[in-house]
Amino acid sequence: MNADRRGSFIVSVGDLLASWNLPHATGRVYGLLLVSEAPLSLDMIAAELALSKGSVSTAVRQLDSWGLARTIPQPGSRRLLVEAAGGIASLLEASHARAKTLIAALREGEDLVSTDPARRRLEDVIGLFASYVDVGSQMLSTYRRQQERGKES
């Protein structure tokens, strides 16, 4: 049934954003926005997700700060509408920035061990993690460039 599939999708997005340490409610609001053809009011979001208006307000504020949602003021009304905006590139980029800081901190430790196998083992851990972050970074840069080209055309 479509309502179940919708509910299940919304929970999946909650789970997805939780892996970037965003509250599950925030992720679910994003999930709802992604499957809504038109912008929604905070009341509508609260009703559909069985959340308090305060929780929805907090979630929308977080999504806005991440560039995942935008608020649309209504002329002559204090009511805001909300819609999903952009993709998760900003979240991934922030996650990468943090990973790079950690890699730099780990590299500081490379001269704390001087003999094999400890030395090689440490280089191996750092090397793998750094490569993993690099390929992700490259992919994000490519994505950003494609987005920019898309806007110019």
**In the complex, which residues of this chain contact its own copies (CB under 8 A)?**
2, 5-6, 8-9, 12-13, 15-16, 19, 31, 34-37, 84, 87-89, 92, 98-99, 102, 105-106, 108-109, 112-115, 118, 121-122, 124-125, 128-129, 131-132, 135-136, 138-140, 143
**Whose Cβ is closer to its own copies: residue 52's or residue 94's?**
94
CA atoms of 79 and 68, how far apart (whole Å): 20
Smallest gap, in angstroms, from Cβ of residue 111 to its own copies? 9
**Whose Cβ is closer to its own copies: residue 52's or residue 138's?**
138
* Long-range own/partner contacts, residues 10-19 (CB < 8 A, 24 or more apart): 10/35, 10/49, 17/91
Beta carbons within 10 angstroms of residue 97's beta carbon: 11
Residue 70 pairs in a beta bridge with 83
Coil, helix or strand at residue 41: strand
**Whose Cβ is closer to its own copies: residue 108's or residue 152's?**
108
Smallest gap, in angstroms, from Cβ of residue 84 to its own copies? 6
**Whose Cβ is closer to its own copies: residue 61's or residue 98's?**
98
Maximum distance among all Cα pairs of the chain, rounded to whole angstroms: 72
